[in-house]
């Protein structure tokens, strides 16, 4: 049968050549020019020709599933552009939702399209094969491989997509579920992206195995809810290593304050050059975790120091409540070596002055120029400053208790793993 068809087509082409005319052939078809996969109802299909054309008034096209006709065009029309020139044969269907997971063939009968300049030049039978996929076709994730720090992971698809409901992905750490993460579906020019958000830059520990799982049915084709993604899993190894040093402030004007009923400008002093991130803020929390204010933060230089500052505009603090001022992680960076600041907090108890930033079990007291600490975390780094910002001691704890001799003074500021306390020498 195929042999006879080929002979017939060859005979037609030979006849046209003998008459001085070649068959009218399209340059491309929109159904298969980019991809042969159809992720939407069948509506308009265009064949493009390199000249102006006309279509027979009763022309009809068909879609076959094997030998069976499953769709018939509602109209076949033409449009011409004489500047190029170009002709379009436009085949219209009435948004036919073909069953998914099947292969189809669009057939335009022979001779229904002809050249406007030479009507003897007509089309041979046009056949375009395509599929309606069972599921979305996934291509890749970005980033991939080993990952140090990221705020978003993206799953890419070969067609435009939308979210189904409010999808969430799951982050696994060493095989155990660690976090549920929101998923946003976006698209552009036949490309779909399922973006998994961490909310902020997230560090993935060096050598630790992670996975992100996007559940089946999180997203679908933009125009067909029934063509959905299969469950997708991205495995990667963390590559984040702690920097060789930490970026810490040496002073805060909270240490000098006596009246905590209102907050205006608050600043943190660094003895090296720093720059602020574009979205840097200082955050005011009512303990334990109620965010009260987060004004924009900036950096200015004063003498040999650099100040990270923000103005809280005279906000009132309620008496007998605990508050903390937080420098969010990654808000500032050291110019010299690019080290980013981790989150740092300073606590305030209105009416009693400086206090621990949280309900930490660490006990501390300063008696006779000796700082005594207990219930310390293993390996805790303890740094002590005088009230004028001079470092008095820096020790890494080898046990849960520690005693540090100090110079004479009435008060000191103690930082334990980045958490700040003010102690009075008794």
Q: What is the average pLDDT value for the chain, to the nearest integer?
A: 86
CATH number of the domain at 411, please: 2.60.40.3580
Strands (E), 134-208: 138-142, 146-147, 149-157, 161-163, 168-173, 176-187, 192-203
Q: Quick one: which of 281, 308, 297, 298 has its CA closest to 200?
A: 281
Q: Do the domain assignments include residue 271?
A: yes
Q: Do the domain assignments include residue 10?
A: no
Same domain? 126 vs 99: yes
Q: Do the domain assignments include residue 270?
A: yes
Q: Do the domain assignments include residue 5?
A: no
CA distances to 123, 144, 205, 268 from 149, rounded to whole Å, are: 57, 12, 9, 26
Q: Do the domain assignments include residue 12?
A: no
Same domain? 97 vs 128: yes
Q: What SS3 state is found at 3?
A: helix
Report the C-alpha gap between 370 and 409 in whole angstroms.
Answer: 11
User: Is pLDDT of 15 > 50?
Assistant: no
Judge whether 309 and 265 are in contact, CB under 8 Å: yes
| Domain-ending residue, one of 114, 132, 150 | 132
Report the C-alpha gap between 207 and 24 in whole angstroms.
Answer: 62
Judge whether 272 and 306 are in contact, CB under 8 Å: yes
CA distances to 241, 277, 337, 344 from 298, rounded to whole Å, are: 27, 8, 20, 16
Q: What SS3 state is found at 218?
A: coil
Q: What is the pLDDT of residue 211?
A: 97
| Domain-ending residue, one of 111, 132, 153 | 132
Rounded percentage of the chain residues whose pLDDT exceeds 70: 89
pLDDT bracket for residue 400 (50, 70, 90): confident
Q: Quick one: which of 233, 223, 307, 302 has its CA closest to 270?
A: 307
Q: What is the pLDDT of residue 426?
A: 60
Same domain? 314 vs 367: no
Same domain? 31 vs 112: yes
Same domain? 285 vs 345: yes
Q: Do the domain assignments include residue 186?
A: yes
Same domain? 105 vs 142: no
Same domain? 31 vs 121: yes
Q: What is the dihedral of CA 69, 75, 76, 77, to 10 degrees?
A: -170
Report the C-alpha gap between 46 and 58 in whole angstroms.
Answer: 17
Same domain? 246 vs 334: yes
Q: Quick one: which of 92, 12, 80, 23 has its CA closest to 48?
A: 80
| DSSP output for 248-281 | --SEEGGGG----SEEEEEEEEESS-EEE-TT-B
Collect contacts of 83-88 with beta carbons under 8 A, ≥24 apart: 84/50, 85/50, 85/51, 85/52, 86/48, 86/49, 86/50, 86/51, 86/52, 87/48, 87/49, 87/50, 87/51, 87/52, 87/53, 87/116, 88/46, 88/47, 88/48, 88/49, 88/53
Q: Do the domain assignments include residue 9?
A: no
Judge whether 181 and 168 are in contact, CB under 8 Å: yes
Judge whether 54 and 79 are in contact, CB under 8 Å: no
pLDDT in tens, 216-244: 999 999 999 999 999 999 999 999 987 77
Same domain? 353 vs 364: no
How many separate domains does the chain show?
4
Q: Lowest-confidence range among 30-39, 119-128, 225-234? A: 30-39
Q: What is the pLDDT of residue 389?
A: 65
Same domain? 117 vs 174: no
CA distances to 57, 76, 348, 353 from 325, rounded to whole Å, are: 77, 70, 8, 13
Q: What is the pLDDT of residue 275?
A: 95
Q: Do the domain assignments include residue 284?
A: yes
Contacts of 43 (CB under 8 A, 6+ apart): 92, 93, 94, 95, 96
| Domain-ending residue, one of 132, 161, 188 | 132
Same domain? 364 vs 316: no
Here the tokens at position 11 are: 């005979």
Across the range 103-109, mean pLDDT stands at 98
Contacts of 339 (CB under 8 A, 6+ apart): 243, 244, 245, 246, 247, 333
Report the C-alpha gap between 298 and 285 in whole angstroms.
Answer: 19
Domain that holds residue 409: 360-426
Report the C-alpha gap between 292 and 282 in whole angstroms.
Answer: 11
Same domain? 353 vs 374: no
Cβ neighbourhood burial of 77 (10 Å; 0-12, 13-18, 19+) = middle
Here the tokens at position 311 are: 């103005």
pLDDT bracket for residue 359 (50, 70, 90): very low
CATH number of the domain at 270, please: 2.60.40.1220
User: Is pLDDT of 323 > 90?
Assistant: no
Question: Which pTM does this prediction carry?
Answer: 0.65
Q: Residue 406 gets which letter from DSSP?
A: -
């Amino acid at each position: 049968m195929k042999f006879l068809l080929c002979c017939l087509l060859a005979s037609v082409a030979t006849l046209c050549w003998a008459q001085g005319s070649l068959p009218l052939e399209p340059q491309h078809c929109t159904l298969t020019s980019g991809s042969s996969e159809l992720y939407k109802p069948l509506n308009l299909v265009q064949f493009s020709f390199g000249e102006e054309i006309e279509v027979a008034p009763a022309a009809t096209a068909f879609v076959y599933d094997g030998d069976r006709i499953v769709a018939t065009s509602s109209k076949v029309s033409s449009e011409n552009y004489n500047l190029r020139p170009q002709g379009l044969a436009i085949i219209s269907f009435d948004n036919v939702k073909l069953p998914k997971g099947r292969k189809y063939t669009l057939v335009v009968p022979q001779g229904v399209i002809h050249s406007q300049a030479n009507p003897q030049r007509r089309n041979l039978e046009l056949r375009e094969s395509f599929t309606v996929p069972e599921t979305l076709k996934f291509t890749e994730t970005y980033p991939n491989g080993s990952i140090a720090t990221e705020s978003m992971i993206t799953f890419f698809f070969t067609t435009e997509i939308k979210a189904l409901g409010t999808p969430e992905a799951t982050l696994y750490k060493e095989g155990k579920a660690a976090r549920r993460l929101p998923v946003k579906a976006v698209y552009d020019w036949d490309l779909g992206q399922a973006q998994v958000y961490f909310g902020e830059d997230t560090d993935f520990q060096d050598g630790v195995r992670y996975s992100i799982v996007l559940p089946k049915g999180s997203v679908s084709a933009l125009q067909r809810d029934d063509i959905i993604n299969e469950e997708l899993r991205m495995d990667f190894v963390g590559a984040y290593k702690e920097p060789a040093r930490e970026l810490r402030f040496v002073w805060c004007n909270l240490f000098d304050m006596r009246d905590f009923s209102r907050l205006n400008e608050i600043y943190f002093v660094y003895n090296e050059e720093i720059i602020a991130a574009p979205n840097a803020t200082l955050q005011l929390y009512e303990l334990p975790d109620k965010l009260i204010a987060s004004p924009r933060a900036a950096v200015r230089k004063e003498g040999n120091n650099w100040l990270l500052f923000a103005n809280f505009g005279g906000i009132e603090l309620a008496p007998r409540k605990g508050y903390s001022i937080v420098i969010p992680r990654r808000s500032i960076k050291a110019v010299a070596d690019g080290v980013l600041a981790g989150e740092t907090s300073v606590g305030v108890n209105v009416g009693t002055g400086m206090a621990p930033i949280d309900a930490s079990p660490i006990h501390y007291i300063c008696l006779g120029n000796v700082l005594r600490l207990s219930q310390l975390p293993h390996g805790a780094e303890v740094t002590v400053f005088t009230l004028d910002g001079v470092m008095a001691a820096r020790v890494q704890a080898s046990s849960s208790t520690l005693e540090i001799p100090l110079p004479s003074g009435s008060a000191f500021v103690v930082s334990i793993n980045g958490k700040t306390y003010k102690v009075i020498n008794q």
